[in-house]
């Protein structure tokens, strides 16, 4: 099936896809070619890159276009209820099931289901989904009756599912069943001058919405915009243009200096993981990495102190060899604790055991639990701040509602 450039442009116009980059046109081309079939599709791309638009192309260009289209974010449904949401449940099948309920696979029969953030789906639910894809069968929660459904599944993810397969967090058979036809949606930074086209489109839209003159860019500002990496992709660009449209009430010509105030400064944090993309690492993961490194250094310090206390004659040399570790830890601990006093005399190796060393072996267990305690504390603070509204607490923590739900049960924080 050959798709002409005119047909690609027509489809992009119909579904609000703006841009002419080769990668974008190729993604549209693949979506149009696979649409008339019933093959499963896996759409990959970063958050905010517009993956849902491609699922709509696949649905509305297919023979199922008169059927129902449902978009579901797997990461926003708690682990305890996702099976009920997708497959339905019988009355009394679990606490709170006061009446029978139809799931999405039943109500979408003959249509298309878009499963966004498929990588967040629990393993048990993945097994149920695989059965639907292979046999068109499902069983409601609390029932033993097998039901049939004819639903086309289009999945999307912003993570590397093969990595999750290796980690045992995603079924390998489901991955290959979903990715019969893969579609890659490029991030904004790989789309070249599409950024300019999108900027002008958003500027015009917001000018009409707020009844103001549309903003424009100077040549220097345009260069700065094209150089920015946009980790939030189209969603971030849209928010950026809306801010400037409203707040730049006097000067509608945006200079590089003005633009620099709206664009977030690039992070100076080092790459903490050798083979990982830093853009996919959250602030929470960075904090955990720092805490784990600090814990490792503390354990190394304890080992050195214990070895030294067993043989005081060698203590001075051991401490001298690890001077950098002692100094670094002392600096790291200053903001939260009293300085670590080692009582070391630089000119002589005369070390008084009772003043210098203490048995810290008993602290190892408490130290190993420090990350868990910190996570529990952060979750409690987020829940208190948001009056126990889990949706907003999860957003503050930078995790999905399902993950927060699981953590609340794990730490027994339910009221």
Sequence-separated (6 or more) residues with CB below 8 Å from residue 346: none
Tokens, residue 415: 């009221």
Closest Cα to residue 152, out of 78, 58, 286? 58
Segment 47-74 mean pLDDT: 95
Task: Specify whether 303 is located in the same domain as 232.
Answer: no
Dihedral (CA of 50, 52, 55, 57) sign: negative
Rounded to 5°, angle at Cα 66 from 62 and 72: 80
Segment 120-133 mean pLDDT: 96
In a domain, 274, yes or no: no
In a domain, 276, yes or no: no
Answer with the one of 186, 210, 225 that is the final residue of a domain: 186
Sequence-separated (6 or more) residues with CB below 8 Å from residue 348: none
Average pLDDT over the chain, rounded to whole?
81
DSSP symbols for 195-209: HHHHHHHHHHHHHHH
Residue 344's pLDDT is what?
40
Instruction: Give dist(CA 258, CA 201) in Å, integer.
Output: 20
184-193, 264-273, 367-376: segment of lowest average pLDDT: 264-273
Dihedral (CA of 156, 162, 167, 172) sign: positive
Answer with the one of 186, 203, 229 that is the final residue of a domain: 186
In a domain, 275, yes or no: no
Task: Specify whether 211 is located in the same domain as 321.
Answer: no
Segment 177-192 mean pLDDT: 95
Task: Specify whether 77 is located in the same domain as 152.
Answer: yes
Sequence-separated (6 or more) residues with CB below 8 Å from residue 403: 75, 120, 394
55 and 197 Cβ atoms separated by less than 8 Å: no
Task: Specify whether 27 is located in the same domain as 135.
Answer: yes
Task: Specify whether 181 is located in the same domain as 193.
Answer: no
Tokens, residue 392: 């907003």
Task: Specify whether 72 is located in the same domain as 208.
Answer: no
Would the pLDDT of 186 be above 70?
A: yes
Count Cα neighbours of 85 within 13 Å in the Cβ-side half-sphere.
17
Instruction: Could you list the beta-strand ranges (E) of 20-124.
Output: 41-44, 69-73, 88-89, 101-102, 112-116
> Which of residues 294 and 405 earns the better pLDDT score?
405
Instruction: Give dist(CA 242, CA 236) in Å, integer.
Output: 10
In a domain, 279, yes or no: no
Task: Specify whether 385 is located in the same domain as 308.
Answer: no
Task: Specify whether 359 is located in the same domain as 377.
Answer: no
Task: Specify whether 129 is located in the same domain as 244.
Answer: no
Would the pLDDT of 203 be above 50?
A: yes
Would the pLDDT of 354 be above 50?
A: no
Sort strands 253-254 and 216-217 into parallel, antiparallel or unpaired.
parallel
Dihedral (CA of 297, 302, 307, 309) sign: positive
Instruction: Give dist(CA 370, CA 336) in Å, integer.
Output: 14
Tell me the angle at which helices 22-34 and 5-14 cross, rounded to the nearest 10 degrees: 90
CATH number at residue 14: 3.40.50.300
> From its phi and psi, is residue 295 left (phi > 0), alpha (psi between -120 and 50) or beta?
alpha
Percent with pLDDT over 90 in the chain: 59
Instruction: Give dist(CA 309, CA 110) in Å, integer.
Output: 74
Where does the pLDDT of residue 269 fall: very low under 50, low under 70, confident under 90, or very high at 90 and above? very low
Tokens, residue 80: 């305890």
In a domain, 273, yes or no: no
Tally the domains of the chain. Answer: 4
Residue 2's pLDDT is what?
84
In a domain, 415, yes or no: no
Closest Cα to residue 164, out of 287, 74, 292? 74
In a domain, 335, yes or no: yes
27 and 182 Cβ atoms separated by less than 8 Å: no
Residue 352's pLDDT is what?
42
Segment 371-390 mean pLDDT: 82
Segment 251-280 mean pLDDT: 67
20 and 186 Cβ atoms separated by less than 8 Å: no
Would the pLDDT of 361 be above 50?
A: no
Task: Specify whether 386 is located in the same domain as 249.
Answer: no
Q: Domain span at residue 296? A: 284-368
CATH number at residue 397: 1.10.10
Answer with the one of 262, 292, 326 that is the final residue of a domain: 262
Closest Cα to residue 134, out of 267, 260, 40? 40
Helix or strand holding residue 147 (H, E): strand 146-148
Task: Specify whether 333 is located in the same domain as 348.
Answer: yes
Helix or strand holding residue 405 (H, E): helix 401-410
Sequence-separated (6 or more) residues with CB below 8 Å from residue 239: 232
Going from the C-alpha of 350 to that of each of 304, 316, 345, the distances in angstroms are: 17, 8, 7
Task: Specify whether 131 is located in the same domain as 201.
Answer: no
- Report residue 73: phi and psi, to 5°: -95, 105
In a domain, 333, yes or no: yes
Over the stretch 65-76, which tens digit does the pLDDT of each residue have? 999 999 999 999
């Amino acid at each position: 099936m050959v798709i002409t450039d005119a047909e690609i442009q027509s489809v992009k116009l119909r579904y609000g896809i703006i841009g002419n980059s080769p990668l974008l046109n190729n993604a549209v081309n693949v979506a149009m070619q696979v649409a008339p079939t019933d093959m499963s599709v896996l759409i990959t791309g970063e958050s905010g890159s517009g993956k849902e638009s491609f699922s709509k192309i696949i649905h509305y260009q297919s023979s199922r276009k008169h059927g129902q289209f449902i978009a579901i974010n797997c990461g926003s449904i708690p682990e305890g209820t996702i099976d009920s949401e997708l497959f339905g449940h019988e009355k009394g099948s679990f606490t709170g099931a006061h009446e029978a309920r139809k799931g999405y696979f039943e109500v979408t029969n003959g249509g298309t289901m878009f499963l966004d953030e498929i990588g967040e789906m629990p393993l048990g639910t993945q097994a149920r989904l695989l059965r639907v894809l292979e046999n068109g069968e499902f069983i409601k929660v609390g029932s033993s009756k097998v039901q049939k459904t004819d639903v086309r599944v289009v999945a999307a993810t912003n993570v590397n599912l093969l990595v999750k397969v290796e980690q045992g967090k995603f079924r390998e058979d489901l991955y290959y069943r979903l990715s019969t036809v893969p579609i890659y949606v490029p991030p904004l930074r790989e789309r070249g001058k599409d950024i300019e086209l999108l900027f002008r489109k958003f500027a015009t839209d917001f000018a009409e919405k707020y009844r103001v003159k549309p903003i424009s860019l100077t040549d220097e500002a345009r260069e700065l915009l094209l150089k920015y990496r946009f980790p939030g992709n189209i969603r971030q660009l849209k928010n950026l243009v809306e801010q400037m449209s409203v707040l730049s009430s006097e000067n509608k010509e945006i200079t590089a200096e003005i633009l620099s105030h709206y664009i977030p400064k690039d992070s100076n944090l080092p790459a903490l993981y050798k083979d990982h993309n830093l853009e996919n690492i959250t602030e929470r993961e960075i904090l955990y990495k720092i805490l784990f490194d600090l814990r490792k250094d503390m354990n190394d310090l304890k080992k050195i102190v214990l070895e030294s206390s067993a043989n005081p004659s060698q203590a001075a040399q051991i401490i001298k060899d690890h001077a950098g570790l002692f100094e670094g830890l002392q600096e790291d601990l200053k903001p939260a604790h009293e300085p670590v006093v080692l009582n070391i005399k630089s000119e002589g190796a005369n070390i008084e055991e009772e003043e210098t060393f203490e048995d810290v072996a008993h602290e190892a267990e408490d130290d190993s639990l420090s990350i868990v305690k910190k996570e529990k504390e952060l979750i409690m603070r987020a829940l208190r701040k948001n009056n126990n509204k889990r949706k907003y607490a999860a957003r503050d923590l930078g995790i999905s509602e399902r993950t927060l739900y699981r953590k609340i049960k794990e730490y027994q924080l339910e009221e």
